[in-house]
């Protein structure tokens, strides 16, 4: 990244308490559901409630869900 872009980033450690990392899952409905189940089984997500409902993505024929950690 160039210096101009680095200056736009907030200083390291200057995050509010509400900022959380996100994992976006985009694919066919079956792929998204399979990945959600896989993340739960592998304990990447401790509860399926941490995923947003599966919704249509802005890409044709794709769906998405977001895991907020």
CB atoms within 10 A of CB 21: 7
Which residue numbers in the chain have pLDDT < 70? 1-3, 5-6, 9-18
Q: How many residues does the chain have?
A: 69
Helix (H, G, I), strand (E, B) or coil at 50: helix
Q: Where are the beta strands (DSSP E) in the chain?
A: 22-27, 55-56, 63-68
Q: What is the pLDDT, as a whole number, of residue 14?
A: 57
pTM: 0.70
Sheet with 22-27: list strands edge to edge.
22-27, 63-68, 55-56
Q: What is the pLDDT, as a whole number, of residue 62?
A: 97
How far CA 47 is from CA of 2, 14, 25, in Å, comes to: 39, 28, 16
Q: What is the pLDDT, as a whole number, of residue 16?
A: 57
Q: What is the pLDDT, as a whole number, of residue 36?
A: 96
Q: What is the pLDDT, as a whole number, of residue 27?
A: 97
């Amino acid at each position: 990244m160039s210096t101009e872009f680095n200056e736009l980033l907030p200083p390291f450690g200057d995050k509010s308490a509400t900022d959380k990392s996100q994992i976006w899952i985009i694919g066919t409905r079956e792929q998204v559901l399979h990945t959600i189940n896989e993340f739960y089984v592998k304990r990447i997500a401790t509860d399926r409630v941490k995923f947003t409902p599966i919704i249509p993505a802005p890409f044709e024929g794709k769906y998405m869900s977001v895991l907020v950690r």
